[in-house]
Amino acid sequence: MEKIQNRIIYDDAVISVDKLSKSFGDRQILRDVDLKLYRGENLVVLGRSGTGKSVLIKLISGLLKPDSGTINVLGEVVNELKERDLMKLRLKIGFSFQNSALYDSMTVRENLEFPLVRNKRNLTRAEINREVEDVLEGVGLLQAINQMPSELSGGQKKRIGIARTLILRPDIMLYDEPTAGLDPITCLDINTLINEVQERYQTSSIIITHDLACAKMVGDRMVMLLDGKFERQGTFAEIFDTDDDRVKPFYDYNFIV
Amino acid sequence: MGRKINNLLLEFASLHRFLMRFFRELVTPPYEFKEIIRQCYEVGWKSFPLIGLTGFIVGFVFTKQSRPSLEDFGATSWLPALISIAIVRALAPLVTALIASGKVGSQIGAELSSMNVTEQIDAMEVSGTNPFKYLVVTRVVATTIMIPVLCFYIAAIGLFGGYLSIIGQDQLSLLSFFTQVFDKIAFIDIFAMALRAIVFGFTIGFASCYIGYNSSKGTEGVGKAANSAVVASMFIVFIEELLIVQLLAVITPLIS
């Protein structure tokens, strides 16, 4: 058990990925990747666009099937689970999509109710309303409850997307590019929200990003995906303490240019 | 050439998997009754005005155009019988299917494709909902139920349109019109109309869902999916019509 900032990170891994490989056609995206996410930890996965960061979390959540390797989530091997068991496991995994993926034919309230109503069928209308309002208040957007997704800004959509995953009280959060396409101030808000979510809901998170400010602000530990493998890992300072031409421009662009 | 054949075979395999999955998900709980009813409303109820207007125009115009030919033989009194056979045996199911392919097929193709592009289908899956059951099964069931309903509706409106066309020039009561209409229609004709409509309804729902659900990513994929859903639905409907007509030509004498 280790204490980072105000966070307690435990020794047990909630996600354990071993020798994971995935290719699309002739293109190998991930090569024998190993990864562990410890309970209570915010792990940032860095890497250039198209290096397979999003593929990794889609494999973890069972949206894609690996070519080889094992993915163990909360003690269950994802790639060996039957559809029904995978559905149950997914309720413990929150997935925040890059483009929020809000159901555009539903209001914000309906978006949040959808997973709740379908997975906790014994809830009363009053309980559903209370849950929805509570989570929306948590992301600071209670006033948007009756709005349609098309009426929201990019940052608001991100928050609602995160709220929709939180409503099922997941143990693990997977964030796919949480700050992509947002202005710097909204990025700060989203990063703060990620930290608040971790503290309030005691989640363990994987954050996929190429935004180093986001990585620095939310990450307890970082790994960098290079040529389909995690070649560097550690704290922010450890990752960028190198002359590797594949890593240096990353840092230089974010903090010098 | 070899590659094209390979792609065609892969497409057939994918279609077969989709069809098998549809029947598997259809019979396994949980059942999405609420969503099926909502889709019936979207697919059926919202199509009533368009289908009604089309049916009326088809019946009215068909009767108007048929009159001169019958007049040559002094047989305008056969108009009700002619209309009834034409509408019930051929026009009602086919016109319903073509209108539904355009309206419902494009809607389903575009909707599922845009949900696919914007990762809404993935979002549904990771939040513990089976998107195939919720999006595909409900829509296919809804079209299979509602296209026959629309077909009977278009037949009724079409016959009424024909009646209005007749009384523009002849004197004929509504009662005697419908008596003549039903004199010429046998049970097998009604059965054949319902059978066609059910098959067409399933086809439109299934083809549109398959194309929308498996569309390529990107906004271009949405347009393509909507377009392909209409073209594929219409094309398959015509082929099915051809086959069903041949089948009924064999079955009808046996039953009669």
Q: What is the pLDDT of residue B204?
A: 96
Q: Do B128 and A118 touch (CB under 8 A)?
A: yes
pLDDT, tens only, A66-75: 999 999 999 9
8 Å CB contact of A103 and B129: no
Give bridge partners of residue A96 from the DSSP assignment: A175
B166-189 core/surface letters (b: 16 or more CB in 10 A; e: else): beeeeebeeeebbebbeebbeeeb
3-state secondary structure (DSSP) of residue A221: strand
Q: What is the DSSP string of B120-177?
A: HHHHHHHTT--HIIIIIIHHHHHHHHHHHHHHHHHHHHHHHHHHHHHHTTS---HHHH
Phi-psi region of A77 (alpha: psi -120 to 50; beta: other; left: phi over 0): beta
Helix (H, G, I), strand (E, B) or coil at A134: helix
Closest-CA residue of B relative to A90 is: B126
Question: For A21-55, what is each residue's pLDDT tens digit?
Answer: 999 888 888 998 899 999 989 999 988 888 888 99
Give the C-alpha separation, A236 to A240, whole Å: 7
A130-139, A221-230, B124-133, B232-241: which range is least confident on average?
A221-230
Whether residue A257 is predicted with pLDDT greater than 60 in this model: the reply is no
Tokens 């699309």 locate to: A24
Q: CB A90 to CB B127 under 8 A? A: yes
Residue A36, chain B, CB below 8 Å: the answer is no
> What pLDDT does A138 receive?
86
Q: Are B122 and A101 an interchain contact pair (Cβ–Cβ within 8 Å)?
A: yes
Contact B128 A58 (CB under 8 A): no
Distance CA A30, CA A57 (A): 12
Q: Min CA distance, B52 vs chain A (Å)?
A: 27
Which of B114, B119, B128 has the CB atom closest to A97's CB atom? B119
Which residues of chain B make contact with A88, given a CB cutoff of 8 A? 128
Best mutation site among B25, B38, B42, B126 for testing chain A: the one with the most A CBs within 10 Å? B126
Lowest mean pLDDT among A147-151, A243-247, B63-67, B181-185: A243-247
* Four-residue CA torsion sign, A127, A132, A134, A135: positive
A119 with B119: Cβ contact below 8 A: no
- Dump the DSSP string for A64-110: S--SEEEEEETTEEGGG--HHHHHHHHTTEEEE-TT----TTS-HHH
**pLDDT at position A6:** 63
* Nearest residue of A to residue B35, measured between CA atoms: A118
Contacts of B128 in chain A (CB under 8 A): 87-88, 90-91, 115, 118-119, 168
Are A99 and B125 an interchain contact pair (Cβ–Cβ within 8 Å)? no
**How confident is the model at residue B251, as a pLDDT?**
83
Res A206: pLDDT: 95
φ, ψ at B240 (rounded to 5°): -60, -40
Whole-number Å distance between alpha carbons of A183 and A195: 19
- Percent above pLDDT 70 for chain A: 95
Q: Is A87 on the interface with B (CB under 8 A)?
A: yes
The series of mean pLDDT values per 10 residues for chain B, 256 residues long, is 85 92 91 93 92 94 88 83 89 94 94 93 91 95 96 94 89 86 86 93 96 85 90 94 90 76
How far A101 CA sits from the closest chain B CA (Å)? Answer: 5
Q: Do B130 and A87 touch (CB under 8 A)?
A: yes
Put simply, the answer to whether B128 touches A168 (Cβ < 8 Å) is yes
The complex's ipTM works out to 0.87
CB A104 to CB B122 under 8 A?
Answer: no
Say if residue B30 is preceded by a cis peptide, omega within 30 of 0: yes
Collect all residues from B whose CB is shorter than 8 A from any CB in A.
Answer: 114-115, 118-120, 122-130
Q: How far apart are CA B89 and CA B223, in angstroms?
A: 34
Kindly state whether A102 is in contact with chain B, defined as any CB-CB distance less than 8 angstroms. yes
pLDDT of amino acid A254: 65
Q: How far apart are CA A6 and CA A16, in angstroms?
A: 24
Contacts of A202 (CB under 8 A, 6+ apart): A40
pLDDT of residue B72: 83
